[in-house]
Structure 1
Amino acid sequence: MRIVIIGEDTARAAEFDGLLADFGLDWKIDWLPAGAPVEPGMPPFDVFVCGLRPGPIGGPELLARVAALYPQAVRILLLDESPDEAGLDIAQGLDGAHRVLGRPLDPGELVAAVESVVDLRELLDNEQLKRVLGRINSLPPPPRLYLQLTRLLRDPDANNNAIAQALSQDPAIAAKVLRLCNSAYFSGGREVGDMRAAVVRLGHQTLLRMVLTIEAFGGPQTGNSKQREQMQDRALRASNLARKLLPGPSAELAATASLLAEVGRLLPGVSSGEAGEDGPDYAEAGAYLMGLWGLPMPIVEAVAYQKRPGQMKSGGFWVTGAVHVATSLVAGSAPDEDYLRAVGMLDKLPQWRELVEPSEQAEEQDREG
């Protein structure tokens, strides 16, 4: 396996070689200077590592080039413990990275990160999963408006008027956004009747998640409308909870992944996880669908491992851990305490339980009572 590291301390090359040899890994690392280009025709590599500012070209742009030119390579973004870069840069880097590791880079963490991504690819390269989904005449389409808004929000010149105009291009989604904006989840006590006011009330990230909810759960999927409404209710509550469990831009990844955690249930021939059911598990099926949609790998991974975070080789409590806790608590089931103990988060569980919002149905019953 060949690893390319750009813009990091080359004095650590001998240290890395020795430690990788201790792991029994015959991996070759090329340490390239800051500003080294990523171009077609480079010697093939399996892993690419860079920081947010590895040279004249920013890390997010380098990761995007690697994704386009060498899509099979594992992409790793390095962040300082307290990064002072703009939040937008970090968010873009997270979108393009399979993994985020701290600086200075630790050889053990690098090995775990690479092996974890490889494991995920093998998990989703499942013949039964491909066979079942291959028989579906029409898979749910990618969330077109969500992806369009994501690109728009990366434009520093974008304003609320432009965002409202993009939303208004799809009257059906615009109407649902307004309805949800005035629901118990988001209502601020005053009814909102126009799209720009909805954008201002919700904020950009909440708006993105709302549009994603509508596009993911609003199509002609299997199951009755009541089941879809219940899934959407759980998705919104899990999303709101998950974003409180992580700091910074990672919170938005966790919120988005939690929103999509149950989408696999909408696919025909997929198991809901109940004992005795045939077919691939809905978590893996949903992750496979996220991959087809081109969503960031941390979201794909979190959806895939939402019920068994302890099986991931990469340690720590990140997006997958937050999604596991949020979806478990919202569903009324117990999170994996052995996993939480292993990642040093078990003591936070009572506090997290207090953050779970009641369902919209329960709130309506309270108001009527």
Structure 2
Amino acid sequence: MALEVLFVDHDPNVLRALRRMLRPMRMEWTMHFCSEAREAMELLAQEAVDVVVSDMRMPGIDGAQFLLEVRKRHPDIIRIALSGYSEQDLVLRAVRAAHQYLAKPCDAEKLRSTIERVKTLRTLLDEKPLRALVSSVDTLPSLPALYQKIMEELESEDPSIKRVGEIIARDVAMTAKILQLVNSAFFGLSRHVSSPEQAVVLLGLNIIKTLVISTQIFTEFQARGLPPDRMDRLWTHSLNTAVCAKTVAQQAGADPIIVDDACMAGMLHDVGKLVLWQALPDQVAEVDQRCEATGEQEWKSEHAQVGTTHAELGAYLLGVWGLPDNIVEAVAFHHFPGRCPHREFIALTAVHAADVLTYAIHGGPPYQGPNLVDAAYLDQLQCLSRLKEWKSACSDALGGQ
């Protein structure tokens, strides 16, 4: 099925250039072009659009307002903001309205690949209601103690960029959001960024402070009936998995980029649980009951109760947020790496092993731990025999706990 894409820009010359530039895609996309927001909203009421690409600076209803309205009325649509480098104020206003931000002028290949990625990501979530659920997420809940710490640091008389980076690096939600922003084309960072500490330095303290305090890109988690220690356990497991994934990748002699991505994917591998806890707490309770009663793996119970798993939800979210493919891939397949077509040691390999080893070292519910191992996958990569060695190295890295 052809992808339906809507382009909105008040400049007729830009719309003509887009038509010309994207003419080779006319057999794969159904493209619509509108010159102002009201016209675009009317079209959206008539057409089932998949992706909206909007200019930020428009008369009347500007791009930020328009994308917020699209999110409200059509939460399943992927929203991409186009803006010039001199329009940072508009982009900062759009951080909770757009999934991705592309800088103008945008070359055809960058625009094409960004939109085409949506088609690939949709294979993760077949159901439109699930895509709408994830696409409507503009921010994720942070651990209350860390949320308070970063607010206190940023509002202090002399905030430390190093301290801010350290706090963000300890929080799953903050890490995901900061990486979304630093990996966007708007900030013009062509280098590979997979560390939140590095991202904070590159964005700068003024932008970070504006994002956190003015646009409220971080929110404090509200339990909504979940056990009070549930978030603490997730954060501890995520941090431990990040450390173990980095250790496993280093032990395997992986390229430094794979090591960095393994660490970050380990931190984010369970980010889909935040989506579930925030949006579907009743179903989460049913998943817990089913796991306790049957002893089956958590992701299997999620699929039975929700129709998908936290791995796929998390990967879809990170994908539409524009995070690198190798991190999205590791999150998507961390429970079932054999489903991934690649057959070499990658970030996914390290995260899968680390997820299992973290439970083996620290323990966990009976439906987690050793029964999560995809032995056939690891054996095919000649890694299965190294699990004992990796467990010892991970235990040392975690302080012998």
Structure 2 length-normalised TM? 0.45
Which TM-score applies when normalising by structure 1?
0.48
Q: Which has the higher helix share?
A: 2
